[in-house]
Amino acid sequence: MGDILGLVAKRLGMGLMILLIISVIIFFMVELLPGDIAEAVLGQGATEENVRVLREQMGLNDPALFRYFEWLKGAVMLDFGRSIVTQEAVMSVIGERFRNTLFLATYAAVIAVPFAIILGVIVALLRNSVFDRVANVLTLTSISSPEFFLGYILILFFSVKWGMFPAIASLNDSMSFWELLNRTFLPALTLVLVVTAHMMRMTRAAIINLLASPYIEMAKLKGTPPWKVIVRHALPNAWAPIINVVALNLAYLITGVVLVEVVFVYPGIGQALVDAVSKRDFPVVQACCLIFAATFILLNLAADVGAILTNPRLRHPK
């Protein structure tokens, strides 16, 4: 167990280094965007004089490097500063949105992960059957279609034609939990369709890969039923690649859903990031990107730890 704690600590340290590098990259990418912040805030109506005054008020006349370190100082203490545009604390701008994103991601993951893995096991069991082919074609079709297209198709049938679920996932505080689930069902379903194929196919491939191993043959020879061969003998050894794919897809559910947010008008963090970029709201962009980067790093870490825990050979190295 001590090894694992050591590994986690080492990986966390590396994660912090990566975050630092990412923050530098993001900062200078924002600087490279055409136009400047004051002009972006004032829009088409900007006059030279207005821009000058606003630049002064925003402290944009300081050198970029100086502003970067000022910001970094705050970020270390989890103070991401104030939004340049609205003057509100960054955390209050994106905190609520991040919670919404996490809620939707959890909702989708709770459906998608078990669904994909169970489906993967079934198609591995019934490989090359009609069921396998149909499942493959359907999931590949859904992953190959752009998310917004899937969203529109779902809206067309589930809300416009059949009126079963609301098309607009706008939330308010007075909603009960069930109402919330009902409101956000279509965006969650869209995400499920998008991430299922990847996880299901990895499960199928990993299991089929193992089926040629001698110990599987042994299990078959002693008369174990096919489903038990897969669930008891093949699956435990297939966890490592599956967990990796699951982690990647979970990260995607948090960072890659801006199109779904737009289509369903869901107030998540992706929309906030797009707005912030178009307004050059640097502190918000930085904070969003850092959150995304941290999400990836933490989930990858979780995947590695998960892979070790499920594999006795890695758990007890000689």
Partner 1 sequence: MTNIKNQQMLDRLADAAREGRVSRRSFMNYSMAAGVTASAATGLWATAAKAEPKRGGTFRIAQHDGNSGDTHDPGIYESNAEILLAHTFRAFLTQINTDGTLGADVATEWSATPDASEWTFKLNPKATFHSGGKVTAEDVVASMNFHRGEDSTSAAKSLLGSVTEIVADDENTVTFKLDAGNADLPWLMTDYHLVVLPRNEDGTANWQSGDGCGPYVLDSWEPGVNASLTRFDGWHGEGAYFDAIQVTFINDPNARQTALVTGDADATSLLENKTMSLLERQPDVTVINIPSAQAITMPMFCDQAPFDNVDVRKALKLSMDRNELVEKISFGAATVGNDFHHSPAMPYYPKDIEQTEYDPEQAKSLLKKAGVENLSVSFSVADSITAGAVDLAILYSEQAKAAGIDVSVLREPSDGYYSDVWLKKPWCMVVWGARPTPDVMYSLAYKDDAAWNESHWQNEEFNKLLLQAKAELDDTLRAEMYRDMAVLAKDDGGTIIPFFPNFVYGIRSNVGTTGEYAASWHMDGYRAASRWWFNS
Helix (H, G, I), strand (E, B) or coil at 89: strand
Tokens for 49, please give them: 């004089």
Identified binder of partner 1 from the candidate list 7, 18, 20, 46, rule CB under 8 A: 46
Helix (H) or strand (E) holding 216: helix 214-221
- Identified binder of partner 1 from the candidate list 4, 7, 42, 72, rule CB under 8 A: 42
Whole-number Å distance between alpha carbons of 123 and 131: 7
Q: Are 293 and 22 in contact (CB under 8 A)?
A: yes
Q: How far is the CB of 26 from partner 1 (least distance, A)?
A: 16
Q: Which is nearer to partner 1, 108 or 285 (CB)?
A: 285
For partner 1, give the closer residue by CB, 155 or 216.
155
Query: By CB under 8 A, is residue 152 in contact with partner 1?
Result: yes
Residues 6 or more apart whose Cβ sits within 8 Å of residue 66: none
> For partner 1, which is the closer residue by CB, 129 or 170?
170
* Choices 126-134, 199-207, 216-224, 257-265; region in contact with partner 1 by CB under 8 A: 257-265
117 neighbors 197 (Cβ within 8 angstroms): no
Residues 260 and 262: their CA atoms lie apart, in Å, by 5
Using CB under 8 A as the binding rule, whether residue 178 contacts partner 1 is answered as no
The one-letter code for the residue type at 203 is T
What are phi and psi for residue 82, nearest 5 degrees? -110, 145
Rounded least distance, CB 255 to partner 1, Å: 17
Q: Does residue 278 interact with partner 1 by CB under 8 A?
A: yes
Taking CB under 8 A as the binding criterion, the range among 46-54, 109-117, 224-232, 307-315 that sits at the site for partner 1 is 46-54
200 binds partner 1 (CB under 8 A): no
Residue with tokens 């069991």: 125
CA gap 268, 258 in Å, rounded: 8
Residues engaged in binding partner 1 (CB under 8 A): 33-36, 39-50, 53-54, 57, 83, 85-87, 93, 96-97, 152, 155, 159-160, 163, 166-168, 170, 172, 262-265, 267, 271-272, 275-276, 278-279, 281, 284
